[in-house]
Each structure stands twice: as structure tokens, then as C-alpha cells.
Structure 1
């Protein structure tokens, strides 16, 4: 007893540890996550453990990934098809279930996940069947349908090219050579600045063990014609013919890599617009299945043109038709997501703008972050242009998809500055503001309610508006926006971020 008449008390080591654990848990989150990548040619999955930590800023709700550990990687599966050319989802399910078993994990052990669909997996019948495989985890999983531009962006992040460009502050061109297309991603200073894609790939044709053709995709006929080779199902291809077709593919690819004015076959095979002429790469990196042959990590023949295409690329590097130094960022065919981080925050309903609470809740809304600075004078035209570029970057159509625009606000909330931002948003999303979809803004700054009012009262936006402040998001984030909780007037947010194996990808939220 002390003189004041109360027991001061002393905590036991167990009590001290319990308090320390409570403090640690408030600022740290550990997740087990799964990344599933299903494409036209190959599919694979991996499990990872992720450690997120709250930023040290006082009362911050932002978490960043401070450590990621890959727990298990599956073998690469050649995506299975049924006789009607749809993906064999039953076989795919067995492959995924075997992966859980091999990794020693149950579905209940998984805290979050990401399912990436590309190529043939995007087709409605395939996508619906694949999504059904993960119906039980729908609240914890992000399913991303990646068109050509988004696939290019993911490859640039997943390969490590973006991290390399940040580290060395160089221009890095990532060349992702897959089964059906080659995706190009130009990176500078840790940012993806442009993307493109062309129909050059290692599995545009496939053959059996006797070299008889068993698969011919449309673009393969174009390449074969350039090579002077005739393709016919069941016909046997000689080694010389395989090399001729692979060299024709590389001849079509080089003008796109070299950012030239495209013409002829190259122009016809492009499935996006060409890369801009600037910036020019300081060096190139390769990812995708063919890169495993380029870097010498794979030597086995998979009854396709992958090995021959890699040889033709090596020839183009050696004779300076591709005159850039090639770097190996190390990810190769696994240049994709390893899973998703996830955490929850609550934002005050008193500082945000929600025009109609009836539109809530919203799930898995993709975040786009236009490359604009809001530090000084606000350029309305630039904001409009960068919003439109962000839509293209992720293969979204204005008015057809719900997206959230993320901005980082700096400076005073003067009316003229806020109105300029609002006008730029309206210019960038003309179909959305007519009511095509809800207009969703995620703002790192205390302007949520004000900008929402300006959009409604001064810009005449007819769409439902959800304008949330106090959150810092970026591309490859997805957000769930819950219903307003009464009587506390808070709106719960769940923020999910796609994670890549290379630090410097979309890791922070």
C-alpha cells in the first residue's frame, strides 16, 4: 500500500506481454493470401504470407506491406480446354484443390486472394464458371479481368521492371511474351507510362510429340505466310519451319519494340495502339513464358514455339536489331500477382458526400489514380486527359464500369482550385456524370464533402456521387464501400491491394 491508500500494483510478465500483443495487433496485420492466374495458355497459383504495418503518422489508417513471403508455388499448368474450346473448369478445380493440399492449407486458412483472368478466360462463359470456383470466398477475393493494357501493366509490376526503373531512375521496357500476345510496358522512375500489345506468342500454334499441328490460332497464319510456311491441322512441321515462323514473329515484333511508325504486318497484328516514341528505353526486361527460355531457366520443349521464339529474340539482341541491354528481373513466367492485402477503415460520414445511400454497399470497385499533381495551379485539361489515360490503362469504358478515382490533394481548399478539379473530373468521365454509373472519388485530403457539393450544385452531375476523404489509394487497389452505420455516422471501407512478388509493385494501400 502507498501513502495515498491505494495499491499501485505491478503487472506480471504475462500481463505485460498481453498489453504488448494488443499494441502490436493494432498496428500490424498478418495475412495468408493466394494468387491465381488463369490465362489462354497457362495457369498457376501461389500462396504467400504478408505482413502489413500501420504508417507511423499519428492516427493513420494507412497500412503498407513491410514483408511478403511466398509459401508455395504451383507447377505451371497448360490451361486445359474441352472439345468445344471452352476452358475445362473441372480440371482447373482439381488443379487448384491439389495446390491447397500440396501447400498444406485449407480454404479457411486464406484471409484474402486475387484471381486474375486473361485471354480466353475473359470470355463470358469461361469467366462465370471460373468465378463460381471461388464463390465461397467472394467477400475476401478480388477477381480482376485483365485486358491487353491491364495485362501489360501487371506484367510490368510483377516482373520487377517498375521496381528497376525506380531504383535506377531509368527507362525500362518490359517485354512480356506469352502464349498468344506480347505485352509491352514502358516504365520510368517507378511509374508505368505507356503500354501496348501485339499478336506474337509462343502458343499461337501447338503440335503433338510427332510435330503434327494440333492447334492453329488466327494470327499464326499471318506469321506463317510471312515465313513462307503453309499451316494445316495434322501437318508435320519441320524444325526449319518452326524456326522460320518464330523469326517472322520477331520480325513483326521489332518495329513495335523500337517505337517505329508501324505499317504492314506489324500494324495489322497490333491489338492496341502503338507505344509513343518517347521515352526511349535504357534497357529491356523480359517476362512471360518465353522469357524462361530467354534467360536459360527452361530448356524443355512444350510442343509449341516458345523455345524457337526465344532463340529468335536472342538473335535479334545479338545482331542489334533490338539494340538495348537486356536485364533479368527474375520473375519470368510468374510475373503476376501473389495475392492481395486487405484491411478495414472507417471514415466519418460528416466529412464525406454520399448523394444517395441507397447505392451502397459497393464491392470490389477498382481504383484508378490519374497521374496529376494537385499541389499548385490545377490544370483542368490535364486532369481530363489523365483520367482518360487511366481508363485506357486498365481497359475500362467510361459509363460502362464503376471505377473509383483517387487523388492526393495538396494546398488550400480554395473554391477556384476545387472547381477546376471538379471540371476536370466531369471532362474525363462524361458518360458517368450523365448517370451511367456512380461517380466515386477517393481523396487523400479533407475535401470530400466540398467537392461532392460542387459536382452536384455547380457542375450539374446527375450521377450518384460518393466522395470520400482521408484515404490514400492507388492503382491495383480495390475498395468495398459499406452502408452508413447509425447512429455513429461512419462508413466502413475495406481496401484490397493486389500484391506482386517484387517489392515496389502495388504493395502499399
Structure 2
């Protein structure tokens, strides 16, 4: 932001390279200063205009790898059509989602496309983080804040169904299943060209015999789509409200079942469906009645969407309409605002500068809970942080020795006694040791002036791992990213807060 200006317009770009589709959005963001002249600068997005929405294209692959040349050329073409250049882009994000995130050339290409496209936040979104992003983009998170109900948004694309349960504006649970439109691909005559290996155990358990090179009928495919929809809804609901209880076959579809104990999902009141299947789910067109209508994209996507809609009706599941479906996971913008942390900060040697540190926000402490009750919720949030931002809970993945950074935001705490402060530090250290040993650098962001004392106490409790940065007088929210620069005048630290806007 240039000094002396109260507001400014930024150009922002979001690019999502998914399992089956790739898309881009160009936004114009109006940023206004919300603080007074005598306070630390604080900015907010006050208006957002969609300047350009790209066509949704099939993600180009070569021998099951991302076609870097094709996507790079496509992005350049979209910039020309949108009449922008990389120099115009002051913020934004590029993410690889679904099965694209697992391609061996994803990580280096992700960095390259971000460097070529402007000032970007970059992320390879695992299934849990993808569910969170989709819940924000679909409007489920905002809907839950207004309705005070638990809303589950399930984002279904080509390979996965990423579900996020939202309550009072926060994601409280995530789960992902191998359910998607392109898990089965076929020709208009019914010839099966692909069956995803992840789907085969579920097919066998349900006595479906589907093999590549063979033909299936419309009735066969419809039966598979109906059973797959029922399994998904069973997994999302647990056994609650289901006439025959939980479908045992759904466990064969759940991603991550081998790594951790699965928690029962919360009881939700409304279901949102986003992603490519969501676009079909809410379409007014009649359900496909023939293989030719089903295979308009060479897969079973339209039939899966109609089967899911019918299953919701049969089970009495109340649905809500999202604000975005196929583009829900596109990160529309990264709003960047510079703030200055207080002088009482704690920073270990040779850590700074840091870039793109993801933030998870601890819940606020309200009058309905004591400090002890509030700190008892930390385990859930640290477990989510470990899943969303960087790998396995409590250990480094086999063969993975990369540096990992994670940020935890602490809300403002009133009347914090020394005893409560000490207990807070102990709980933070205990939860870190339980869930986040893979993290190499931990950033604590405090709203109030307590960073230096908290850093020194945690250093004693954590005994050298991880490296610590504690900054204060900075306000961030869940899902933000922060850049932390080198100290100014040996004390103040510039912090760039990047709020992903959808």
C-alpha cells in the first residue's frame, strides 16, 4: 500500500489445477484502510468485482503427468484474453487439487507457474485443506455463521469428494472419500476405458463387475451411481438418520483410513454440493436417460450427480444452494496488507525471513467457557492444523524430510493471570508434541502484547524443536498466510498478511 492513500484497487488472479478440470478467475479488489491515522495500519477488502472467468478446461495430462507446456500456454492465453500481465497482478493464488496434487511434477511446476504469473500464494492442497477451501468458496462457511447450524459442504470433482463441516463460521471436521465423476470413464457405446484402482475394492464388495475394455449398460452404471451416492451420504451422516444404519462399504472409499482413527462426523442439518458434480447436482435439466447423455464428458459425472440428488430426496436430506459450484475451490484472490508487529517479539536466530506461512486460528474465548474448557479444545484444532498444513500427525512421513512451517493465531485474552499464562504455554507445547512433530518452524501470532514472554516459556518447554517465532499486536484469521520480514531497527518486524478471498 502506498502511504497517504485510504483505499486502492488490486488485481488478483486465482488458478486451480484439479483432477479433471483447470480454471482461472481474475478479480478486482478494493482495499480500504479501516484503522485511524494514529493506529497501526489495518486494511480490509471492502469490494470485490469479478473481471474475468476463464472457460473450465479438462486438465491436460501426458502419460499421467501434468502437461506443463499445455497449462503454461493456456495461462498465458487467459492473461491475454483478460488483458492483464504478470506485472499487473499484485496478489493471488495458484493451487493443485485432487489427484493433480499427487503428480510427481506438481511441486516444481507449481512454483514455476506462480513465479511466471505474479505475486502469488502457492499451495499443493491435500484433501483436507481442499475441503476447507471449497467450504469457503461455496459459501458454506459464511452460511453456517448466519444460520448457526452445522452445514456440510461436499466438493465432488473428478476423483474425490472433500467434505467440510462448518459451524458458526468455522470448519470443525473434514473427511474425504474416493467418490468422483471420472473414477469410471467410458465411451458413448458403454465401453469402459478406465476404472480407478481406488474404487475397485468398493465395486467388489457391492458385487459390481466392471472391467476396462468391456461394455456396461445404462442400468448397470445407474445402479453403481446410486450405490456410490448412498455410500457417500452414509459416510457423511454416520449412522444418524439412516434406515439401515451405516454402510460398511463406505470405509473402503475413505481416504486416510489407514493412517488415523476415524472420528464420527458431526450431525449436520444441511448439505451443500460444490465442484463439477455440484454444477450438475443443481442443474435444472432432466437427468440423463441414456449412455450417450451420461458420457457427454467421457465419464459418469452427470449420472452420479442425478443419483446423488435422488438419494438426498429419498433420505430426507435438506440441501442448500452454494454461491459457487465448479469454481468453489478457485482462490479468487490473496489480499495482502502490511502490518508491523510490536517490539516485544521473540525470534530465534537465522529464521527470518519467512514466506507463505499458513495460519490456523484457535477458537475465541467467550463468556460461556472457562480457560480450562477453552484450552481443552486445543487438541482438535492442532490435529486439524497437522492435517491441513503439512502432513502426518505426530511424525515425519516416510522419506519426507522437507522443512515445514505452520502458524497458530491466538485470540485476545482478557485478564490473563500468570497461572493462566503458564497453563496456556504448557497446553500449546503438549498439543504440538502430540500432533505436529513434523513441523520445523512454528509461528505464534498473538493479538495482544505477550509474544516475548510466550516465546521464552515455549522455548523451555519444547527444548529446541521446533524453531520459534512469536509476534504480537497482529490480527489474522483462519486460512490467512503471512510473510515475516527481517527486523526493522532491531525490534519491529514487518508482517505481510495475505487473506485468501473467494
Contact map agreement 1:399 1:429 (CA 8 A) in 2: no
- Asked whether 1:419 is paired with 2:413, we answer no
Cα distance in structure 2, aligned partners of 1:479 and 1:183: 26
CA 1:463–1:202: 2 relative to 1, 3 Å: closer
1:269 aligns with 2:228: no
1:62 maps onto 2:56 in alignment: no
Q: Does the CA-based 8 Å contact 2:446-2:475 persist in structure 1?
A: yes
How many Å separate the matches in 2 of 1:56 and 1:126? 40
- What does 1:86-235 correspond to in 2, within 5 Å? 86-123=65-102, 124-136=104-116, 140-225=119-204, 228-235=207-214
Task: Go from structure 1 to structure 2 and tell me whether the alpha carbon gap of 1:459 and 1:288 turns closer, same or farther (over 3 Å shift).
Answer: closer
- Of 26, 35, 41, the match for 1:47: 26
How far is the alpha carbon of 1:54 from its aligned partner? 2.4
**Structure 2-normalised TM-score?**
0.86
Alignment correspondent of 1:342: 336
Q: Which residue of 2 aligns with 1:71?
A: 51
Shift of 1:115: 0.8
Q: Secondary structure at the match of 2:371?
A: coil
- 2:469 is aligned with 1:466: yes
Distance 1:153 1:51, change over 3 A: same
Q: Shift in Å at residue 386 of structure 1?
A: 2.9
User: 2:497: which partner in 1?
Assistant: 495
Partners of 1:187 and 1:258 lie apart in 2 by 14
2:202·2:253 contact (CA, 8 Å) conserved in 1?
Answer: no
Q: Aligned partners of 1:494 and 1:296: how far apart in 2?
A: 41
Query: Using the alignment, how far apart are the partners of 1:174 and 1:381 within structure 2?
Result: 26
2:274 aligns with 287
Larger radius of gyration: 1
Q: 1:185, CA displacement in angstroms?
A: 1.6
* Contact kept? 1:433, 1:462, Cα under 8 Å: no
Q: Residue 199 of structure 2: SS of its match in structure 1?
A: helix
Is the contact between residue 362 and residue 411 of structure 2 (CA under 8 Å) also seen in structure 1? no
Cα distance change, pair 482–468 in 1 and its aligned pair in 2 (3 A) = same
C-alpha displacement of 1:385: 4.4
Instruction: Give the secondary structure class of the aligned counterpart of 2:377.
Output: helix
Q: Helix, strand or coil for the counterpart of 1:49?
A: strand
1:255 equivalent among 225, 228, 234: 234
Provide the residue aligned with 2:456 in structure 1.
Answer: 453
- Change in Cα spacing, 1:296 to 1:433, as seen in structure 2 (3 Å) is closer
Residue 432 of structure 1 and its aligned partner are, at CA, apart by 9.3
- SS in structure 2 opposite 1:476? coil
Which runs of 5 or more residues in structure 2 are unaligned? 240-244, 287-292, 397-403
Q: Distance in 2 between matches of 1:230 and 1:436?
A: 44
**Out of 294, 318, 322, which is 1:329 matched to?**
322
1:391 aligns with 2:393: no
TM-score, normalised relative to structure 1: 0.85
CA separation in 2, counterparts of 1:491 and 1:481? 7
SS in 1 for 2:471: strand
8 Å contact from structure 1 (residues 423, 459) kept in 2: no
Shift of 1:119: 2.4
Task: Name the residue aligned to 2:302.
Answer: 307
CA contact (8 A) 1:413 1:447 kept: no
